[in-house]
Chains A and B, each alone.
Chain A
């Protein structure tokens, strides 16, 4: 053996993840593929706030109070931090089923469906579960080869199933799901406050300046920046504040945007929302103050390139993301059935018509789509590995 040390580049799991995400900082940052609108968001927030700090704040600090720019800085830092946290974190992506699990589910489905006559379309793959005394249908995802957990949905833009899928937000360049929904909400809330704050103090600045002009018989023009800021804030206000209001409404009912758009829980003949605590405070607390869920993706885990040993599914060993050894399925005469114990006897799907390959439910734009939020300088790149 030569004495030369060959440094092998370590392959991390994020490099082999399916789906259309982009990863940065060696797997610490996870975003959607199209990031253009996110850069626009950042630019607008940073730009407007920079103008505010450069032109308004000196005047206001001197003539009114130095607390004004200080509070503005705090708010600005919070907004950017929440934006980066929303954009860079894993929204709650569900990993795809490994071959053994996929086969297991297939066998279960086949056993549940019984014999399908040749030429007949197989029934749609739906599982009924009972949640808090309501029947909820779980759909099968053909891409991820799993039955989607309740409230999960497949994002066609990112090509992932996301837990508690809310919507895909191009403004933050990421999906909004279970893990980053509260950051998203805090982002819109703090951005609303920031917008109102800047808007208000722009007006104050203009009024003060004009007042002094009249009093001191001095002519000085209102800076153009102020006008620009007022314009940006004005248009932002309507959209972002509206969005915050909409999400506050959703949180109080413990619903997701996806469910709201589909009308899952509305209407007389439909199931009532089984996840709601029927209490506004409880719902808010669950969504905003609930536990911080960990990412199940393990992006930074090291991939073992071991293909000689049989795959030990040992909990303590670093598991390979893809099983290196295909498992020899023992052929059994009777298909192993672990029926869902809450599946009613008529497990055969009730919907006979059209097998929808309902893998994608793209929710690209939120209903009140925000126009330009205030752009702020990302002085600190927030690394959110969680």
Chain B
């Protein structure tokens, strides 16, 4: 269970750690925003929406690398599914053209459907994985699909040490 692993992490770091158990509500009320990390786009495959899976150093002490990479990879897969050019996109395009694009007043495009899935996935990830670690992911669509913004929170009750500080050497991962 993630919380157990978490407990291990907490006991390992001898220095003051600002990692506390938060749920989404607690995060908003009791934690204060310390920092924001931005995951940039990966353009190696062209202009398709894809984010870099490189693990940022600021999150070193906050979350396990594999969890983070899983999240980004799943998001990349969702976007790839939305932007896939194949039979379904042709059908959608041709049908829409024949109806002079009025059909989009009635039905949702495939991209919009996938965006809803992404939004649900991000919320689920926030609730289960990120909020307990004092992090929060912002849906990329709210940042123009340019970055994945990860907000790093620290407990208001903490003694003001910066949360993502690289000086705390937490080896547990």
In the bound complex, residues from chain A placing their C-beta under 8 Å from that of B104 are 292, 386
Could you tell me the distance between the alpha carbons of A78 and B100 in the complex, rounded to whole angstroms?
A: 7
A110, CB-defined interface residue at 8 Å: no
In the bound complex, residues from chain B placing their C-beta under 8 Å from that of A81 are 100-102
B77, CB-defined interface residue at 8 Å: no
In the bound complex, residues from chain B placing their C-beta under 8 Å from that of A15 are none
**Count of chain B residues with Cβ under 8 Å from any Cβ of A?**
66
- B110 close to A291 (CB less than 8 A): yes
Could you tell me the distance between the alpha carbons of A342 and B42 in the complex, rounded to whole angstroms?
A: 9
Query: Assuming the A-B contacts A150-B47, A288-B93, are A85 and B36 also in contact, with contact meaning beta carbons closer than 8 angstroms in the complex?
Result: no
Q: Range of interface residues on chain A? A: 35 or more
Residue from the list A95, A298, A330, A384 in contact with B101, Cβ < 8 A: A384
B10, CB-defined interface residue at 8 Å: no
Could you tell me the distance between the alpha carbons of A95 and B149 in the complex, rounded to whole angstroms?
A: 14
- B149 close to A291 (CB less than 8 A): no
Could you count the A-B residue pairs with CB atoms below 8 Å apart for me: how many are there?
169
Q: A224 → chain B, closest Cβ, in Å? A: 33
A20, CB-defined interface residue at 8 Å: no
B19, CB-defined interface residue at 8 Å: no
| Chain B interface SS verdict (over half) | mixed
B5, CB-defined interface residue at 8 Å: no
Within 8 A of A (CB), among B123-173: 123, 126, 136-139, 141-147, 149, 151, 162-166
In the bound complex, residues from chain A placing their C-beta under 8 Å from that of B126 are 314-316
Could you tell me the distance between the alpha carbons of A275 and B84 in the complex, rounded to whole angstroms?
A: 15
- B41 close to A332 (CB less than 8 A): no
- B36 close to A327 (CB less than 8 A): yes
Within 8 A of A (CB), among B73-111: 82-85, 89-90, 92-94, 96-97, 100-102, 104, 109-111
A265, CB-defined interface residue at 8 Å: no
What 1/0 mask marks residues of chain A from 91 to 104 whose CB sits below 8 Å from any chain B CB? Answer: 00011011011001
Could you tell me the distance between the alpha carbons of A338 and B41 in the complex, rounded to whole angstroms?
A: 11
Could you tell me the distance between the alpha carbons of A132 and B46 in the complex, rounded to whole angstroms?
A: 7
Query: Assuming the A-B contacts A149-B43, A314-B24, are A330 and B142 also in contact, with contact meaning beta carbons closer than 8 angstroms in the complex?
Result: no
In the bound complex, residues from chain B placing their C-beta under 8 Å from that of A314 are 24, 28, 126, 136, 138
B52, CB-defined interface residue at 8 Å: yes
In the bound complex, residues from chain A placing their C-beta under 8 Å from that of B47 are 149-151, 164, 275
Could you tell me the distance between the alpha carbons of A97 and B166 in the complex, rounded to whole angstroms?
A: 26
What 1/0 mask marks residues of chain B from 27 to 58 whose CB sits below 8 Å from any chain A CB? Answer: 11000111111111111111100001010111
Residue of B whose beta carbon sits closest to that of A311: B33
Could you tell me the distance between the alpha carbons of A149 and B54 in the complex, rounded to whole angstroms?
A: 19
What 1/0 mask marks residues of chain A from 144 to 158 whose CB sits below 8 Å from any chain B CB? Answer: 001001110000000
Contacts A132-B46, A138-B43, A292-B111 supplied; 12 other A-B pairs, CB < 8 Å: A82-B100, A94-B144, A130-B44, A296-B145, A311-B33, A315-B122, A330-B34, A330-B165, A336-B56, A338-B39, A338-B56, A338-B57
